[in-house]
Amino acid sequence: MSSDDAWDRTKVAWHVAFAVFALVSVVLVLAEDRFVPAALVLLAVLCVWYWRVGAPLARDARGVRYLAVAIPLVIAMFALVPALSVLFFTLYPHIWSLLEPRLAIWATALTSLSIGTVVLVSGSFSENSIGAAVVIFLSVVPAVMLGLWIARIISQSRERAELAVASHEAGVLTERERLARDLHDTLAQGATSVLLLLRAARTATDPVARDHHLALAEQTTSENLAEIRALVAALTPVELNGAALPAALERLTSRLGRELGLSASMTVHGTYRTLPPNHEVTLLRVTQEALANVRKHAHASLVTVSLDYSAGVSLSIADDGCGFSSDTPHGYGLDGLRDRVRAAGGVFDIRSAPGSGVRVHVRLEDA
């Protein structure tokens, strides 16, 4: 929905209404006992001015210019032919649609006072004209109240539309960030793994080792293709597709051990239970990113993954690699993991020091 005024969504109806009242005005002028050609001339000027300036029905300088001419024209036509008061049915809505509420209040008041003055003067301040003028003067209050009520409705509609747009944009941004994390946590890591395996195969002198590296590269590529299909179909990660979380983490850990030739183990504590899909995906992505960092940076000989189902669920991934200083800038992967865990309502902690390896810990409460 657009944030434009509600008036803009019914422009055609307003144009039709103006045309109808203009035609009725012509009939009323021609039906007068005393023909007043000046009234028809002023009506023609009003129609041309509306078409050239007022027709966009825009709340900007054009609307102000249109009303600055239209209001005196309509009042002048009313002074010439009182029956042309029908034009006020279009003039007042134009005032409230084209002006901000504060200006619209003043314009309504001045227009009504002008009409009452015309009635007084044309009636030579007779008793009837004074009574009619008083009614017109008093009508300013309900007219303003009605205009403010309508303006408030339009304002609320505009605010709701703007809120809907902002909410949609925030949702799009959140989804982009989620997809960026998914792409980094799966496809980018898989491509890195394949690249390392192919390099290892190229430099391997042992045919058995070379074939082993190529087989692992082929397996990783197949899994990456499956991940792409899962992302496109907005499904759960392929590792979790029909598998329990511990089994998925065990496969990731075992693969890392085979790829790097290191000791990699995965343990489960507590009683296994199915977690909310968002929690399982979060824990899986944390494991993927942590193991990918081991593959790229740690130079470790030992990696342990621990999944604990006691009082909520917690996940720990530790290695005995080179570690890093707390002053070292974190890459997109760690920042993305922290954001992902926080989005799931969990706590993310990472501890490391040069030569002391890295320990990543995540805790999620039961939903």
Banded pLDDT at 3 (limits 50, 70, 90): very low
CA distance 29 to 44: 12
The pLDDT tens digits for 27-38 are 988 988 888 899
Environment class of 304 (CB within 10 Å of its CB; exposed 0-12, middle 13-18, buried 19+): middle
The pLDDT tens digits for 321-339 are 998 886 665 554 677 788 8
Residue 242 has pLDDT above 60, yes or no: no
Residue 213 has pLDDT above 90, yes or no: no
Q: For the chain, where are the alpha helices, taking DSSP H only?
A: 11-31, 37-49, 61-80, 88-98, 101-122, 127-138, 140-182, 189-203, 207-232, 245-260, 277-293, 332-343
Q: What domains can be seen in the chain, in order of their start residue? A: 6-138 (no CATH), 167-364 (3.30.565.10)
Banded pLDDT at 131 (limits 50, 70, 90): low
Crossing angle (nearest 10°) for helices 332-343 and 140-182: 130
Mean pLDDT (the chain, rounded): 81
pLDDT given for residue 237 in this prediction: 58
CA distance 265 to 250: 8
The identity of residue 50, as a single letter, is Y
Banded pLDDT at 73 (limits 50, 70, 90): very high
Q: State the sign of the Cα–Cα–Cα–Cα dihedral 80, 84, 85, 91.
A: negative
Banded pLDDT at 48 (limits 50, 70, 90): very high
The DSSP H or E segment spanning 244 is none
| Contact (CB, 8 A) for 232 and 262 | no
Q: Output the furthest CA–CA distance in the chain (Å, rounded).
A: 118
Taking the CB of residue 147, how many other CB atoms lie within 10 A of it?
21
| Residue carrying structure tokens 């054009």 | 62
pLDDT given for residue 85 in this prediction: 83
Residue 315, strand partner residues: 307, 362
> Mean pLDDT highest for which of 4-8, 206-210, 249-253?
249-253
pLDDT given for residue 320 in this prediction: 93
With H, G, I as helix, E, B as strand and everything else as coil, classify residue 44.
Answer: helix
The identity of residue 346, as a single letter, is G
pLDDT given for residue 9 in this prediction: 59
Residues 6+ apart with CB under 8 A from 352: 323, 324, 325, 326, 358, 359
pLDDT given for residue 336 in this prediction: 77
Residue 230 has pLDDT above 70, yes or no: no
> Mean pLDDT highest for which of 105-114, 164-173, 282-291?
282-291
Residue 294 has pLDDT above 70, yes or no: yes
Bridge-based pairing of strands 302-308 and 263-269 is parallel
Q: Which residue has the higher pLDDT, 227 or 206?
A: 206
Residues 6+ apart with CB under 8 A from 253: 264, 265, 266, 287, 291, 303, 305
Q: State the sign of the Cα–Cα–Cα–Cα dihedral 82, 83, 84, 86.
A: positive
Could you tell me which of 22, 8, 16, 111 has the C-alpha nearest to residue 60? Answer: 8
pLDDT given for residue 250 in this prediction: 93
Residue 174 has pLDDT above 80, yes or no: no
The pLDDT tens digits for 139-149 are 677 777 777 78
Could you tell me which of 178, 169, 25, 177 has the C-alpha nearest to residue 90? Answer: 25
| Contact (CB, 8 A) for 190 and 219 | no
Banded pLDDT at 1 (limits 50, 70, 90): very low
Report the range of poorest mean pLDDT among 22-36, 173-187, 208-222.
173-187
Banded pLDDT at 313 (limits 50, 70, 90): very high
The DSSP H or E segment spanning 300 is none
Environment class of 234 (CB within 10 Å of its CB; exposed 0-12, middle 13-18, buried 19+): exposed
Residue 290 has pLDDT above 80, yes or no: yes
